[in-house]
Structure 1
Amino acid sequence: MGDQDLRSTPLEAVHEALGATFTDFAGWRMPVRYDSDLAEHRAVRESAGIFDLSHMGEVHLRGPQAGEALDHALAGKLSTMSVGRAKYSLLLAEDGGILDDLITYRLAEDHFLVIPNAAGVAEDLAALTERAAGFAVEIEDASATTALIAVQGPESERILLDALTGADSGVDGIAAEDLVAMRYYRAAGGTYRGAPLLIARTGYTGEDGFELYVRSDLAVALWDQVTAAAGDRLTPCGLASRDTLRLEAGMPLYGNELGRDLLPAQAGLGRTVALATKGDFVGRAAVEDADLTGRPVLVGLAAEGRRAARAGAEVRDAEGTAVGVVTSGVLSPTLGHPIAMAYVSPSLADPGTDLVVDVRGRDLPVRVVPLPFLRRD
């Protein structure tokens, strides 16, 4: 696919002016880095970074049975979630396989916002529409008219207070005290220059941070306003640093740690499936009946030195027998040693187990460690 065939976010001109290097990500022309992957990663860990995530989807469900429709469609229980809350959940196939992982916000008693991954927007929308049939709910795909900007890092709250809570900020309905009081996986709605604005304390970096949903035609103004208020406290960040940040935080990436042929329990996500708190939903019977014996499970791996395993690398036991495969790996910028996530035989999943990974034809000794690799205080 050539650049001319890729979709562009509303912030593409901003990225070009900043000298970004672009990549094809799920059919979108996205900034992979602006300067240095390492510098961008460290900025988020030490101060703050700003990301364009406008390739993600936004699907609204409105109606008196919106919650019940989502209970049927997703693995989690959404109907009892209070207004202003967010929940991580899974979209399962009938056979229990993971079609996507997504976040759902409850914006009002009869209004939910679902955020699919970029590569899954069309499929998720089709599945949600099919599964909502018979419920009193209307579904709107607002992906093309919504931009998503993330501000992540320990300085993110202070930056947004400076940028968005002044008298001339253009923001109404979200006060400084709302931001300060907002807990993790909470959200508040207001307006920005008269258009809807949603600010959520969510993210994909393992740091404190916020995600800002705004109308596409206001994305550049909002980006510029936040970056102007932040000054040198805020660094533009691309997809490369986003990936190393989420890997250190032990957060799965669909297509790497999650996929159609994997059950939630294999990925350590059994707790997201509401078997005990709600009735039937798509995939329930398959999850309940699944025999997990011998199915590989997701683990963290750590090594010494500077050589990092990459996705697809074979994992072997001490006798040289293949026992799994690496799904993501990197030389951790924060920890200073190689880390990886991998699926391995359940008998070898206990922390402290010594294994070997094939790194470009050379054996790399690794040890199973708990996830996440890095946890913020």
Structure 2
Amino acid sequence: MGDAELLQGPLNAVHTEFGATFAPFGGWSMPVSYAGTVAEHNATRTSVGLFDVSHLGKALVKGPGAKDFVNSALTNDLDKVGPGKAQYTLCCVDNGGVLDDIIAYYVSEDEIFLVPNAANTAAVVAKLQAAAPDGITVTNQHREYAVLAVQGPRSAEVVGALGLPTDMEYMAFADAEFEGIPVRVCRTGYTGEHGYELLPPWDRAERVFRALQAQGAELAGLGARDTLRTEMGYPLHGQDLSLDISPLEARVGWAIGWGKDAFWGKDALTAQKSAGVKRTLLGLKAVGRGVLRAHLTVKRGDDVVGETTSGTFSPTLKVGIALALLDSAAGLKPGDRVEVDVRGRSLECEVVRPPFVDVRTK
């Protein structure tokens, strides 16, 4: 896809104004960094970072019984939460593979708002539309709302300075206003830090974005978002979760409501749970110098025991880290050593169970 074909968010001109570098991601032109990925990463861990993630999808499921319909389709159990809460969930296919991972906002029994990944929004909406019973509508609202993530120890201070609510539980949300602009505020994020995701209307997002920056939030791009989420071991769909990597393999089985009567992929996932997975997503931390990337071969001695799915340099730990699918038959556990083939050079790594960074004690 050429640059001319890439979709643009509502704030691309603003990002250009502040000197962002751009790269394609999920079919969108995304700001990668402003002052440098390491600086933006560290600002988020120590103070507060501001991310424009408006490329994320948005979809509305509405009508009598909307909650029950979504609950019969997606993996997690909405009956465990209630109105005003958000929930991490998965849209699976018949073989147990993951079409997408999604945040579901429980607005009411008759209204569920979904935030899928950018590249998968159309597919998720189409699958839900095809299954929706009479009276329930599924609407693609991709360009109706922006998504601004305010993440870090000072995030409540910055969001609160705009008169927006901050005193809420993790995964709770509230609808509010800033200078007459409706904003949905949710205590969620992809960094592991205390943070919020704000959803203003697409065409009024700039005013909110500039107000947050004026309160001292450091602009941060896709590069820092990736290093931050990798340090936490959060999976990225298309790399650590996919149609070929099941929730159980990716260690997100906690997002499955096993007691529900039905959800897409239940039979296959139940069988896999009973049989046990043949590979598991774990972390690798470089012992020596070297940067880990995706799709590198992992060996123990002469035996190939897995492959990396995500990899980066950890600005917090100052070492290379990766997520990797490791063969269950190898019996690897945290503390074991393996070797990763990095461009023909063997890099010794320690197997760890993510997160790599404990944000409570760092």
Report the 3-state secondary structure (helix = DSSP H, G, I; strand = E; otherwise coil) of the residue aligned with 1:143: coil
The answer as to whether partners of 2:67 and 2:108 remain within 8 angstroms in 1 is: no
Q: Which residue of 1 aligns with 2:197?
A: 211
Cα gap change, 1:265 to 1:129, in 2 (>3 Å): same
Match of 1:267, SS state, is coil
What SS does structure 1 have at the residue aligned with 2:248? Answer: helix
Determine if the alignment matches structure 1 residue 252 to structure 2 residue 235.
yes
**1:149 corresponds to which residue?**
148
Give the match's secondary structure for 1:364: strand
Whether contact under 8 Å (2:233, 2:356) holds in the other structure is yes
AA aligned opposite 2:106: R
CA contact (8 A) 1:26 1:119 kept: yes
- Among 277, 280, 283, the residue aligned to 2:262: 280
Partner residue, 2:246: 263
**Which residue of 2 is the match for residue 52 of structure 1?**
52
Q: Secondary structure at the match of 2:157?
A: helix
Task: Tell me the distance in 1 between the aligned counterparts of 2:67 and 2:149.
Answer: 26
Structure 1 residue aligned with 2:322: 340
Secondary structure in structure 2 of the residue aligned to 1:151: strand
The one of 168, 171, 174 equivalent to 1:185 is 171
Task: Name the SS of the counterpart of 1:146 in structure 2.
Answer: coil
Asked if the contact 1:266/1:296 (under 8 Å) is kept, the reply is: yes
Distance 1:310 1:19, change over 3 A: same
Conserved in 1, the CA contact under 8 Å of 2:249 and 2:277?
Answer: no
Of 194-203 and 258-267, more deviation after overlay is shown by 194-203
Q: Does the 8 Å CA contact 2:103/2:116 hold for their aligned counterparts?
A: yes
C-alpha contact (below 8 Å) 1:325/1:342 kept by paired residues: yes
- Identify the residue that residue 209 of structure 2 maps to in structure 1: 223
Partner SS, residue 44 of structure 2: helix
Give the match's secondary structure for 1:246.
helix
The alignment-based identity, stated in percent, is 39
Pairwise CA RMSD? 1.5
Distance 2:116 2:45 in 1: 26
SS at match of 2:243: coil
Which of 201, 218, 223 is the equivalent residue of 1:235?
A: 218
Deviation of 1:349 after TM superposition, in Å, equals: 3.2
Gaps of 5+ in 2: none
Uncovered stretches (5+) of structure 1, i.e. residues with no partner: 166-173
Give the residue type in structure 1 aligned to 2:345: R
In structure 1, the partner of 2:27 is 27
Paired residues of 1:73 and 1:132 also in contact (CA < 8 A): no
In the alignment, is residue 201 of structure 1 matched against residue 200 of structure 2?
A: no
AA at the equivalent of 1:352: G
SS in 1 for 2:147: strand
Deviation of 1:293 (Å):
4.7
Check conservation: 1:57, 1:143, Cα contact below 8 A: yes
- Distance in 2 separating the partners of 1:79 and 1:140: 23
**3-state SS of 1:147 partner:** coil
Q: In structure 2, how many angstroms separate the alpha carbons of the residues matched to 1:197 and 1:64?
A: 25
Q: CA deviation at 1:68?
A: 0.8
Equivalent residue of 1:30, what SS? strand
Equivalent position amino acid for 2:236 in 1: L
| Alpha-carbon distance in structure 1 between the residues aligned to 2:178 and 2:35 | 30
2:229 counterpart SS class:
helix
Conservation of the 8 A alpha-carbon contact between 2:282 and 2:326:
yes
Specify the alignment match of 1:168 in structure 2: none
Change (3 A) 1:304 1:353: closer
Query: Aligned runs of 1:18-97 on 2, under 5 Å?
Result: 18-97=18-97
Cα distance, 1:255 vs structure 2: 0.9
Equivalent residues, number: 358
Q: Return the alpha-carbon distance in structure 2 between the equivalents of residues 59 and 253 of structure 1.
A: 20
CA contact (8 A) 1:299 1:349 kept: no
Q: Distance in 2 between the 1:54 and 1:81 partners? A: 26
Deviations 1:75-96 (A, max 9, x none): 1112452111111011000111
- Residue aligned with 1:189, SS: strand
